[in-house]
């Protein structure tokens, strides 16, 4: 059963982990729109493909699936998740499992204000969010919120455009310059996340690996330490009951005042999934079992507390690209 990883970019370490866990007969196929994506060269075969916005893109990916006997496909970038979700039936018709959420959930994950309203309606504790400065003004008049606040693009990813704002004049100017910004309560608490696997057969949350962030950079956490808390695991299961995921999910939380709050959901392998894998929480084996028609048994907390991950930079040196299709 061959795997297709789309838009692999710099995620070389994740491909290395896949190679370690895949059965010897399975091949790892990788794509990117740039031949200079270093992760490409850790796959068994590489394809340079059109941009995800190109009208020929899905046709190209389906052709690769058929040519390479691919049985499962996923992406490492947020903008492609909805594309996969929207074309799930086309992949199903050629025998390929799409590791991406179903359509309505995919839309919610990439509209932070809609996700906030969904969570509030379903009783999931989340970060207080305002979709406009008028909403914020009303809440401020009612003394429900005050400065400092946090703003971020409604549809953004990778922390681009996200920042703390301490006064009204700066906030008003920021929203005027970028009307897509949402305004959030500034969460002063413990910043953490969890790598979660949702079974593709039962659609249940099967396992989660939770970690506190020690250091972050643009795109995610670079230093983390593992911990376990049944209260957080219960919240994760609740989130997965009301949203329809399929495969790996990265969830961000804050812990404040003795309570967990859902911050964001990224329905793909998170940048710090490497920590989970290194601590023995192997999603690749869970995927393999699902591909063979077997449901996984839920197992939360099967790892050690206090395991630290520290990311570092590395390089790929390539003399030629003859092996790239």
Task: Give the residues of the chain that fall short of pLDDT 70.
Answer: 158, 218-219, 320-325
* Residue 94 is assigned to a structural domain of this protein: yes
State the residue range of the domain holding 52: 2-100
Residues 163 and 251 in one domain: no
Give Cα 255 distance to the centre of its chain.
20
* Residue 205 is assigned to a structural domain of this protein: yes
* Residue 113 is assigned to a structural domain of this protein: no
* Residue 254 is assigned to a structural domain of this protein: yes
* Residue 164 is assigned to a structural domain of this protein: yes
The string of pLDDT tens digits covering residues 38-56 is: 999 999 999 999 999 999 9
Residue 323, pLDDT score? 56
- Of 145, 162, 185, the position where a domain reaches its end is 185
Residues 157 and 198 in one domain: no
CA distance 77 to 164: 25
Tokens of 317: 């040196």
* Residue 263 is assigned to a structural domain of this protein: yes
Residues 192 and 272 in one domain: yes
List the CATH number of the domain containing 209: 3.30.470.20
List the CATH number of the domain containing 142: 3.30.1490.20
Residue 14, pLDDT score? 96
Residue 322, pLDDT score? 59
The string of pLDDT tens digits covering residues 107-163 is: 999 999 999 999 999 999 999 999 999 999 999 999 999 999 999 999 977 678 899
- Model-level pTM? 0.95
Residues 149 and 207 in one domain: no
* Planar angle of CA 302, 199, 249, nearest 5 degrees: 75
Residues 14 and 49 in one domain: yes
Residue 324, pLDDT score? 62
DSSP string spanning 251-292?
Answer: EEEEEETTEEEEEEEE-S--TTHHHHHHTT--HHHHHHHHHT
Q: How many domains does one find in the chain?
A: 3
């Amino acid at each position: 059963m061959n795997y297709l990883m789309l838009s692999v970019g710099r995620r070389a370490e994740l491909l290395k982990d896949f190679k370690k866990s895949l059965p010897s007969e399975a091949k790892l196929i990788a794509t990117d729109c740039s031949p200079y994506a270093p992760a490409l060269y850790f796959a068994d075969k590489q394809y340079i493909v059109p941009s995800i916005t190109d009208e020929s893109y899905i046709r190209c990916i389906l052709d690769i699936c058929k040519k390479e006997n691919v049985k499962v496909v996923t992406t490492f970038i947020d903008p492609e998740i909805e594309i996969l979700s929207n074309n799930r039936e086309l992949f199903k018709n050629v025998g390929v499992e799409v590791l991406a959420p179903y359509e309505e959930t995919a839309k919610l994950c990439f509209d932070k204000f809609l996700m906030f309203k969904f969570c509030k309606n379903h009783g999931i504790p989340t970060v207080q969010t305002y979709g406009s400065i008028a909403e914020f003004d009303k809440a401020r008049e009612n003394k429900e919120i005050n400065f400092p606040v946090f703003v971020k693009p409604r549809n953004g990813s990778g922390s681009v455009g996200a920042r703390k704002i301490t006064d009204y004049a700066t906030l008003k100017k920021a929203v005027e310059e970028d009307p897509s910004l949402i305004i959030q309560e500034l969460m002063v608490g413990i910043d953490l996340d969890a790598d979660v696997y949702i079974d593709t057969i039962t659609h249940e949350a099967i396992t989660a690996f939770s970690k506190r962030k020690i250091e972050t950079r643009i795109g995610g956490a670079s230093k983390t330490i593992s911990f376990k808390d049944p209260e957080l695991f219960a919240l994760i299961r609740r989130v997965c009951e009301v949203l329809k995921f399929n495969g790996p999910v990265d969830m961000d939380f804050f812990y404040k005042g003795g309570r967990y709050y859902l911050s964001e959901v990224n329905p793909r392998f998170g940048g710090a999934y490497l920590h989970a894998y290194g601590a023995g929480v192997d999603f690749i084996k869970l995927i393999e079992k699902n591909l063979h028609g077997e449901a996984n048994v839920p197992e939360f907390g099967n790892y050690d507390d206090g395991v630290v991950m520290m990311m570092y930079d590395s390089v790929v040196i390539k003399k030629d690209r003859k092996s790239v299709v």
